[in-house]
Structure 1
Amino acid sequence: MKPLLFKIAKTNEEAVRILQEDYPYFYDKLHYHVETQIMVIVEGEGTYFIGDAIGNFKAGDVFVLGPNLPHFFRSAQQYYDAQSTLHSRNISVLFALESMGERMLELSEFHSVRKLLERSKRGLKLEGGIRKKMFDAAYKMAEKDGLQRIIYLFKQLHRLSISDELTPLSHINFEPGPLPSDTKKINGVIRFIMENFSRDISVSDAANVANLSINAFCRYFKMHTRKTFSQFLNQIRIGQACKLLIEEGHSVKEVAFQCGYYNISYFNRQFKQITSLTPSQYAKAHRTRHNQAI
């Protein structure tokens, strides 16, 4: 199964590359690259798509994205407002250990790291104490260069490899094999969904954006995202609903309407199917966790 996505080109000869980005919104095109990426969200919030997983991200989150794993981080809609003064900042650590020596990962000393990198092919989200440690470590790594940066990376990979606070995201691994000519079309469809999920849109609308028949579009979309159009749309909508439910002053009915659901019973069914909780249960559970943390 080949994700037909575009590939980010290598930019220099550094073994460990640090990118510190500060833009109005995150790079929101579906893409992949051969390097493993540790992605630290410094500022901003929005929706992520990693492999076949969809969820929300916020400042303080840390992800490990394995090689050839399709992904994007799309900032929340307010970040795209022409008058917005919001910032989306991240630190990314990119590396390919294989480039440092083909046999290095075969050494017994790298056994746990090798297992970590294999797990990262599904995308990992850091939780608890390891998240805070890696957040701080990204800043320190950016201050180092050359051999010191490589040594420091190995220390962090070892720390990650023995942690039990890494949550896998995608249900499947992805293999390389993109067709760059497909990039513009699939990203156009995803952009259409992200900008219009709050209103009543259909598979026919999305097929028109891609300039495909409905049957051809359904095959095309499933091949790229490993989801049907309705699965993708519902997960985007429910992700937004989760965000609204933990904010003050939103009733379940208001949240449903804001997320494109005009039938409350259908909204409740979809919400429970995706989160295993009803909207009311979800909001109550969040309030309980919040009060316990205070």
Structure 2
Amino acid sequence: MKPLLYQIPRNLDEPVRVLKESHQHFYDNLHFHSEYQIMTIIEGKGTYFIGDAFGNFNSGDTFIIGANLPHFFRSNKEYYGPENGLRSQNISILYSPEALGDKFKDLSELHSINRFLEKSKSGLFLTGKAREKLYKSSKKITDKNGFDRLIYLFKIFNFLAQTEDVVTLSHVSYEDEIKVGDTEKINTVIGFLIDNFTRDITLADAADVANLSVNAFCRYFKRHTRKTFSQFLNEIRIGNACRQLVEEDLSVKEAAFKSGYYNISYFNRQFKTITGCTPSAYCKNINFKHVN
């Protein structure tokens, strides 16, 4: 995969950086960076793509994103309109182990933390008590500086290395090769799909956006997202249907129609394939469901 390399502004000898961000919508270009990231959503709703995992996020959610793992967070459509008071806020804790040197990383006391960081290269989502704890801890670390901030982060990592309230998101590993032209093109295609998934989008439509033939586009899209065009589009649509079933209390038929499906039988099959349950069963459990 060849997403945008995102350079986090920091001092070279600064192992921990904490960013408090508040914008109308989240940064939504597919990108990666060398730092490990703990991202807590303080305010906002939307969809994420981490590795090869696609799903919904809400206020209070926390994600652990390993080094060089491609990802984006895209706010819901209403966040992109005229200024309406909606905000997308997050706290990101960014950790660069290289700043501490190899000898520090190799300490036996850090083995469990290093194993956790390796696991985070597939992307992790926190549930249960871990979700609640990290929401509070992410706020607390913003008040700490220097050595205190580093110690506090390692306490967080130590807790995360022991908790079972963690869901692994991505199934595949990635290389960090990039080409700017490829980056711009795949982000344009993804943006087109997310903005237009409620209407009938053909393979030819998406190929035109990428300025490729249909055959070339199929190869290109699979290489960059590890999914076929139809898989990716169905995951966007089912993710939207999940959100509408829970947040807007729509009927199954209404959610299907507003997510781009006009055949209920096909919608039900895709819903079960992607979420592992039927729409009615999903509605009975309003806990987080990541689409994977």
Q: Aligning the two structures, in what range does the TM-score lie when normalised by the shorter sequence?
A: over 0.9
Equivalent position of 1:259 in the other structure:
259
Q: Distance in 2 between matches of 1:6 and 1:275?
A: 29
Deviation of residue 277 (structure 1)? 1.2
Aligned: 1:205 with 2:226 = no
The amino acid that maps onto 2:133 is: K
The DSSP-based 3-state class of the residue aligned with 1:143 is: coil
Equivalent position of 2:30 in the other structure:
30
Deviation of residue 249 (structure 1)? 4.2
Farther off after superposition, 176-185 or 200-209: 176-185
Equivalent position of 2:167 in the other structure:
167
The amino acid that maps onto 2:69 is: L
Q: Distance in 1 between matches of 2:237 and 2:156?
A: 35
Equivalent position of 1:98 in the other structure:
98
Farther off after superposition, 243-252 or 130-139: 243-252
CA gap of 1:155–1:284, structure 2 versus 1, over 3 A, is closer
Q: Distance in 1 between matches of 2:276 and 2:232?
A: 17
Aligned: 1:227 with 2:203 = no
Deviation of residue 142 (structure 1)? 1.1
Q: Point out where structure 2 has 5 or more consecutive residues left out of the alignment.
A: none
Equivalent position of 2:192 in the other structure:
192
Q: Distance in 2 between matches of 1:91 and 1:73?
A: 13
CA contact (8 A) 1:20 1:91 kept: yes
Equivalent position of 1:273 in the other structure:
273
CA contact (8 A) 1:98 1:104 kept: no
CA contact (8 A) 2:15 2:98 kept: no
CA RMSD of aligned residues (A): 1.3
Deviation of residue 96 (structure 1)? 1.3
Equivalent position of 1:9 in the other structure:
7
Equivalent position of 1:216 in the other structure:
216
Deviation of residue 173 (structure 1)? 2.1
The DSSP-based 3-state class of the residue aligned with 2:262 is: coil
Q: Point out where structure 1 has 5 or more consecutive residues left out of the alignment.
A: none
The amino acid that maps onto 1:141 is: I
Equivalent position of 1:71 in the other structure:
71
The amino acid that maps onto 2:85 is: T
Aligned: 1:247 with 2:243 = no
Report the identity percentage: 54
The DSSP-based 3-state class of the residue aligned with 1:103 is: helix
The amino acid that maps onto 2:98 is: E
The amino acid that maps onto 2:102 is: E
Equivalent position of 1:141 in the other structure:
141
The amino acid that maps onto 2:70 is: P
Aligned: 1:87 with 2:115 = no
Deviation of residue 55 (structure 1)? 0.5
The DSSP-based 3-state class of the residue aligned with 2:284 is: helix
CA contact (8 A) 1:51 1:123 kept: yes
TM-score, normalised via structure 1 length: 0.94
TM-score, normalised via structure 2 length: 0.95
The amino acid that maps onto 1:42 is: I
CA gap of 1:122–1:249, structure 2 versus 1, over 3 A, is closer
Structure 1, residues 45-73: CA drift from partner, whole Å, max 9, x if none?
Answer: 00000000001000000010000000000
CA contact (8 A) 1:42 1:89 kept: yes
The amino acid that maps onto 2:229 is: F
Deviation of residue 132 (structure 1)? 1.2
Q: Distance in 1 between matches of 2:164 and 2:125?
A: 11
Q: Distance in 1 between matches of 2:144 and 2:100?
A: 18
The amino acid that maps onto 1:8 is: Y
Structure 1, residues 60-109: CA drift from partner, whole Å, max 9, x if none?
Answer: 00010000000000001111111422000000011111321113222211
CA contact (8 A) 1:121 1:174 kept: no
Deviation of residue 175 (structure 1)? 2.4
Q: Distance in 2 between matches of 1:154 and 1:282?
A: 37
The amino acid that maps onto 2:161 is: S
Residue correspondences, number: 286
Q: Distance in 2 between matches of 1:70 and 1:139?
A: 25
Deviation of residue 23 (structure 1)? 0.4
The DSSP-based 3-state class of the residue aligned with 1:285 is: coil
The DSSP-based 3-state class of the residue aligned with 1:164 is: coil
